[in-house]
Each structure stands twice: as structure tokens, then as C-alpha cells.
């Protein structure tokens, strides 16, 4: 190749190659185009779970052996047509082939999230509203009830029950405000009569009715985000998620009812190098409590209560995570009619360790209720066959040392649970 031809090529490349500013401009256009494409795209997602549980003991009408063979399917779609509009539609179908537990077919998280402006958002539909700091105790987290039909067996992603609500939010630079109105009352799902985890088994057949609440619930939150952590002030006018037992003197039977209560409290956390310290403090103007046996007030009494939670999350390295939470409920105006202690405490802790570049995850958790003389131990692991297919196995141990203990109805219901999860 002659020197003349080489010179021509060099000049051509010099004049046709974009300079740095031009490259930045065109790269920015490409990034914006890709971002716009992702924003307008509709994402379809699904989760399939196959669960088999094996009971290790004969217990109160239930035999040792396979206690659950459950299929769970979650389908949904979501999209963001513009910077101020998001929507999501999803549903859940679950079927227990053993007929020991329950079946479901319902609308899950489905909502429209509209940005009236950059700082004001309106979200309406079935949604999850997680307030407070606790991962285990329902103190200030009053919007979403829990699925308690398989106590200790339900995964964290299935535990919260979405509720139809409208939430108006203001998002400032360092603070925010939320106002929520709940359009439906969804209390904790409890096992029905004849099911293995029926909390009220010993009261049946005298317990013949459940009166579902229908009044409007609402709540507000004022939150602040600081360099060292977060803080919130919360007020809730809502029903207790668990029912209390009441007596109908005319019919002579027992029934389940729900108490509406006003809750005000504060929550916050402090972020350290490898740890997060968290706390919640709440006052309830009235709470339903078990009455002392033979009390003239009936099976339930109502007293104000103060709830405190202190917790810590600690990650010494990228493969290990430790969480501990302790709670205390103090009964104000405690007297002889109350069948529980003036102060009730509980502690829940968990340890998670990852191996094989996060493909294998092992964990152990322990919950202890001091005055209720109960323990719940869970040991398990999960192995990722691929990024979207995971296989898990858990051992769940229920313990109670008194006939009036919280977990006495579930004593000796120890289970081994296996689960295959596929995300598409």
C-alpha cells in the first residue's frame, strides 16, 4: 500500500470519527432511547411454588405423614408508560391437594400509581403498605394483615395480605407525609374449624360465629430521612388483626369479634458501618386481652397497652446476616380481671449464611415468648439451581411448656417442609 493511500485513509478516519463531545451526545441519546423503551415496556412475571410438608408426630386428630401438598401460582404484569405513571396487576391461585390447609383465588397487588407532580403521588388499588421498623412484630405496621393459617410455615413473600387502599404521598427532599384510607377490612387469615393450625380448637363447638368488621380504617405518617437514619411519627385508626372471643348472652354461644383501636407511635433507625439499630414505641387506647378464667367480664377484657420493640440488623460480611428483635407489651390499668401478665415479652432472632457464591443459603431462626412459655424454631436452607429456580427445605419445631401457652394448640406439630420455586 502506497504512502499516498495510507495518508488518504488517515485523513478520512480523522474527519469521520466523532469527537468526545459528539460521542457523549449520541451515547446520551441511545441511553435515553433505551430508558424510554424500558419505561414503556410491559413486564410480565410469574412465580410457581410446589410445596410438600411432612408431619413428624401424631397429634390431636392428625396423623404422622404428608400433611400438605400445595401448588401456588402468582401471575402479574406491570408497566411505567411515563415518568409519572405506573401500574401493576397480579393475582394468586393456590390449591392444597391434601385438603389439610386451604385454597385461594384472589386479586393480589394491583394498583395505579400516579404522580400528580414530582413530589405528590396518588396510589390506589390493592397494595402493601409496610410502616414501622419491625420485621416480625405488628406494632405500627397496621395496614396489612397476615396469613396465619399455617403458623410458622408461610414464607415472608406470602405473609402480608394486600389491601384495597388509596395513599396520598408528599415526597420532600428530607421528609415526607402519607395519608391512607383503607377501602376494605382484611384481618389476619386464621385456620378454620377442623384445620391443623386452628387457634380456637379448644373452644369449639361453642364458638359458632365470626363477625367481620366493616368500618373504614385510616392512618397517617410523617417521616424524616437523615444522614444517620430514618424516623417516623404514625397514627392509625384501625381494627386489631386478630379477633377476640366474646359471649352472646341471648344465644348462649361464643363468637369472634374485632376491636377498633387508635394507635399512635414513633419508629426509627440508626445506620452504622455494618449494623442498623431500630426501634418502635406505640400506645394503643385499647387492646383485647384474655380474661382470667371465671371473670364476670366474659372471656375478653379491654385495656390500654404500650408496645416497645428494640432490634438490630448486623452484617459482619457480605455472606452473613444476623437479626434480633425484642418486644414488650405493657398492660396499663392491669387488674385481677386480666388473664395475662402485666408485662409480656418476646424475642425473635435469625442467622443467615450464604455459600458457593450465594447459590446456597442456610438459616436458623428462633422465637421465644417468655410469659406465654412458647418457642418456635426453624432451621432450613435454599439452593439456587439457576437464577430463577430454587429448592428449599425447612424444619419447624413448635414448643409449649404450659397448657395455657401461646403455642399449646400446635405443640408436637413439628414439620419438614420442602419447596420448589420457579420465577419466570
pLDDT at 29 over 60: no
Q: Quick check: is 28 in a domain?
A: no
In whole angstroms, what is the distance from residue 102 CA to residue 178 CA?
A: 35
Let me know if 265 is exposed, middle or buried by CB neighbors in 10 A (0-12, 13-18, 19+): buried
- Structural domains in the chain (count): 1
**Percent of the chain residues past pLDDT 90, beyond the cut:** 60
In a domain, 26, yes or no: no
The answer, yes or no, to whether residue 363 has pLDDT greater than 50, is: yes
**DSSP string of 324-373, one letter each residue:** EEEEEEEETT--TTB-S-SEEEEEEEEEEEEETTTTEEEEEEEEEETTTT
Q: Exposed, middle or buried, 9 (CB in 10 Å: 0-12/13-18/19+)?
A: exposed
Say which residue, 70 or 310, is predicted with more confidence. 310
> What's the mean pLDDT in 394-403?
91
Share of the chain above pLDDT 70, in %: 88
CA atoms in the 13 A half-sphere facing the CB of 257? 16
* 3-state SS class at 411: coil
CATH number at residue 178: 2.40.160.10
**Residue 29 lies inside a defined structural domain of this protein:** no
Least confident stretch, 171-180, 252-261, 359-368: 252-261
| 30 inside domain | no
Cβ-proximal residues to 113 (8 Å cutoff; 6+ apart), any chain: 85, 86, 87, 88, 121, 122, 123
Q: Provide the pLDDT for residue 38.
A: 56
Q: Is the Cα torsion angle 395, 277, 261, 375 positive or negative in sign? A: positive
The answer to whether the beta carbons of residues 161 and 145 sit under 8 Å apart is yes
Residue 43 included in any domain: no
Residue 276 located in a structural domain:
yes
What is the residue whose three cell numbers read 425473635?
A: 348
Name which of 12-21, 216-225, 361-370 the model is least confident about.
12-21
Sheet (strand 244-248) strand order: 207-210, 253-257, 244-248
pTM of the full structure: 0.84
How far, in Å, are 44, 155, 275, 353 from residue 358 at the CA level?
Answer: 26, 19, 21, 9
Residue 99 is part of which domain span?
Answer: 50-423
Q: Is residue 184 part of a domain?
A: yes
Kindly report, residue by residue over 65-97, the tens digit of the pLDDT: 888 888 999 999 999 998 999 999 999 999 887
Q: What are phi and psi of 235, to 5 degrees?
A: -130, 135
Question: Three-class SS of residue 310?
Answer: strand
pLDDT in tens, 264-307: 999 999 999 999 999 999 999 999 998 887 555 578 999 999 99
Checking if the pLDDT of 340 tops 60, the result is: yes
Given a contact cutoff of 8 angstroms between Cβ atoms, the answer to whether 305 and 281 are in contact is no
Query: Is 33 part of any domain?
Result: no
Amino acid at each position: 500500500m502506497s504512502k499516498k493511500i495510507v495518508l488518504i485513509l488517515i485523513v478520512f478516519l480523522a474527519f469521520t470519527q466523532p469527537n468526545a463531545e459528539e460521542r457523549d451526545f449520541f451515547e446520551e441519546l441511545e441511553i435515553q432511547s433505551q430508558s424510554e423503551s424500558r419505561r414503556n415496556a410491559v413486564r410480565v412475571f410469574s412465580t410457581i411454588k410446589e410445596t410438600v410438608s411432612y408431619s413428624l408426630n401424631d397429634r390431636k386428630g392428625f396423623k404422622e405423614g404428608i400433611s400438605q401438598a400445595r401448588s401456588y401460582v402468582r401471575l402479574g404484569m406491570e408497566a411505567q408508560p411515563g415518568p409519572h405513571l405506573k401500574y401493576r396487576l397480579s393475582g394468586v391461585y393456590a390449591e392444597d391437594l391434601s385438603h389439610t390447609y386451604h385454597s385461594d383465588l384472589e386479586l393480589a397487588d394491583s394498583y395505579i400509581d400516579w404522580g400528580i407532580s414530582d413530589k405528590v403521588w396518588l396510589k390506589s388499588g390493592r397494595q402493601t403498605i409496610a410502616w414501622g421498623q419491625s420485621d416480625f412484630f405488628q406494632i405500627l405496621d397496621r395496614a396489612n394483615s397476615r396469613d396465619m393459617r399455617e403458623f410458622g410455615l408461610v414464607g415472608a413473600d406470602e405473609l402480608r395480605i394486600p389491601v384495597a387502599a388509596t395513599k396520598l404521598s408528599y415526597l420532600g427532599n428530607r421528609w415526607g407525609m402519607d395519608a391512607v384510607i383503607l377501602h376494605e377490612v382484611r384481618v389476619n387469615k386464621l385456620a378454620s374449624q377442623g384445620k391443623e393450625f386452628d387457634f380456637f380448637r379448644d373452644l369449639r363447638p361453642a364458638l359458632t360465629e365470626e363477625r367481620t368488621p366493616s368500618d373504614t380504617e385510616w392512618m397517617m405518617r410523617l417521616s424524616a430521612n437523615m444522614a444517620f437514619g430514618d424516623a417516623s411519627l404514625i397514627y392509625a385508626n384501625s381494627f386489631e388483626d386478630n379477633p377476640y372471643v366474646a359471649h352472646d348472652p341471648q344465644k348462649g354461644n361464643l363468637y369472634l369479634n374485632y376491636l377498633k383501636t387508635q394507635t399512635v407511635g414513633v419508629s426509627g433507625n440508626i445506620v452504622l458501618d455494618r449494623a442498623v439499630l431500630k426501634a418502635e414505641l406505640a400506645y394503643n387506647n385499647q387492646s383485647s386481652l384474655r380474661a382470667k378464667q371465671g371473670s364476670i367480664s366474659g372471656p375478653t377484657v379491654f385495656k390500654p397497652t404500650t408496645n416497645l420493640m428494640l432490634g438490630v440488623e448486623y452484617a459482619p460480611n457480605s455472606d452473613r446476616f444476623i437479626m434480633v428483635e425484642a418486644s414488650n407489651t405493657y398492660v396499663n390499668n392491669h387488674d385481677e380481671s386480666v388473664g395475662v401478665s402485666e408485662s409480656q415479652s418476646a424475642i425473635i432472632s435469625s442467622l443467615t449464611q450464604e455459600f458457593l457464591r450465594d447459590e446456597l443459603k442456610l438459616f436458623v431462626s428462633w422465637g421465644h415468648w417468655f410469659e406465654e412459655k412458647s418457642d418456635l424454631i426453624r432451621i432450613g436452607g435454599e439452593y439456587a439451581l439457576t437464577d430463577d429456580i430454587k429448592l428449599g427445605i425447612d424444619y419447624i419445631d413448635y414448643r409449649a411448656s404450659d397448657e395455657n401457652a401461646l403455642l399449646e394448640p400446635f405443640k408436637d406439630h413439628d414439620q419438614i417442609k420442602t419447596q420448589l420455586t420457579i420465577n419466570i
